[in-house]
Amino acid sequence: MEDAGGILTSKYKQSFKIMEKRELCPDTFFYAIEAPFIAKKLEAGQFVIVRPNDNGERIPLSICGWDSDKGIINVIIMSAGRTSGEINAMNVGDCLADVVGPLGERSHVEKTDGTAVVIGGGYGTGAVLPTALDHKKLGNKIVGIVGARSENLLLMVDELKAACDDVLLTTNDGSIGIEGFVTHALQKLIDDGVKVTSVLAVGPVPMMMAVCKMTEPLSIKTWVSLNAIMVDGTGMCGACRVSVGGETKFACFHGPDFDGHKVNFDELIKRQKMFVEKEKEALEAVSK
Ligand SMILES: Cc1cc2nc3c(=O)[nH]c(=O)nc-3n(C[C@H](O)[C@H](O)[C@H](O)COP(=O)(O)OP(=O)(O)OC[C@H]3O[C@@H](n4cnc5c(N)ncnc54)[C@H](O)[C@@H]3O)c2cc1C
Ligand code: FES
């Protein structure tokens, strides 16, 4: 079979080599992965589905950056269970079995005379980065808010500072920035008279819910990225169905970003818990 600079190992098989790996905080790593066809087409807010090895499961991962010329995509992976742990055990030079993408719709970004806010928690801080850069390209004023339990768990702060006009940090224990949650930082912006016209929040479901609860009475357009259970990522299997504005949507195909004021979060939480026992079994099986 023809080989294009070591990237194509057969007509359809690519190498998806890990080119860089960096620990950002305990159990959380930044990766640069060779994926030239995906890197050419990516847009802010999209994601990929990754399978680490031939026997592995597929997991969705947000894209936190890419270089179309070098054919590289960047992801951040937090060890949550079997598959994320398997990838985080891989090293530079190792190859992932499959990386499928780009998947999902691009983030919703439009010109505003106010301030756009992006809020990240955990891997979500990387996920909001491309959207922050899109706001900047449009000439919008953009403020980033990053939250974590403690200073050592904050991710991608320097990268977000480079993309935003200002970045506010929040920690639950007050070790740096505002003591409390990302909503406290958002409240501070509003109290300081900043005209917030849109919010994108990506992170744990309780965080996205809290942001939506705060912005709804203020009529601030709020987008959330739904981390629903996904299997194929193309709208075929139905695993990622979510209720938005009373309609059934597929998070992989219609999202992952949705109008947070219309999302049925209670249903999302219920569906996320559907496979807890199986996930425990899978982790135990590979830990033996
Ligand atoms: C659009 C999207 C983007 C995401 N981006 C990132 C990212 O950039 N970095 C990151 O670390 N994580 C990301 N996640 C979450 C990540 O996909 C899950 O942590 C991962 O699937 C866990 O799999 P596991 O086998 O390691 O753990 P498991 O033990 O299988 O599960 C641990 C937790 O992850 C959730 N989960 C399990 N399988 C899936 C699945 N196929 N799809 C969605 N959630 C699942 C479960 O609800 C469970 O709470 C994203 C999820 C979605 C839907
Ligand atoms: S993951 Fe299968 S329809 Fe969305």
**Predicted pLDDT at 268:** 87
In order of start, what are the domains of the chain with their CATH numbers?
Answer: 18-103 (2.40.30.10), 115-272 (3.40.50.80)
pLDDT at 257: 96
Give the mutation target among 84, 96, 271, 281 for probing the ligand 1 site: most ligand atoms within 8 A of CB.
84
Residue from 61, 240, 280 to probe ligand 1 pocket by mutation (most atoms less than 8 Å from CB): 61
Report the pLDDT averaged over residues 190-216.
Answer: 96
Cα(59) to ligand 1 centroid in Å equals 6
Q: Report residue 58's pLDDT band, with 50, 70 and 90 as the boundaries.
A: very high
Mean pLDDT of the chain: 91
> CA 190, 177, 158, 36 torsion: positive or negative?
negative
Which listed ligand is nearest to 64 at the C-alpha? Answer: 1
Phi, psi of 205 (to 5 degrees): -55, -45
Q: Provide the pLDDT for residue 8.
A: 55
pLDDT of residue 270: 83
Q: What is the pLDDT of residue 87?
A: 97
Q: Record the pTM.
A: 0.91
Cα 251 to middle of ligand 2, angstroms: 7
Most confident option among 13-17, 52-56, 117-121, 232-236: 117-121
Instruction: Give residue 1's pLDDT.
Output: 41
State the Cα–Cα distance between residues 119 and 129, nearest whole angstrom. Answer: 10
Is the separation of the CB atoms in 45 and 223 below 8 Å?
A: no
Summarised one tens digit per residue, pLDDT across range 209-264 is 999 999 999 999 999 999 888 888 999 999 999 999 999 999 999 999 999 999 99
Residue 253's pLDDT is what?
95
Query: What DSSP assignment string belongs to 35-78?
Result: -HHHHHH--TT-EEEEE-STTPPPEEEE--EEETTTTEEEEEEE
For residue 185, the one-letter residue type is: A
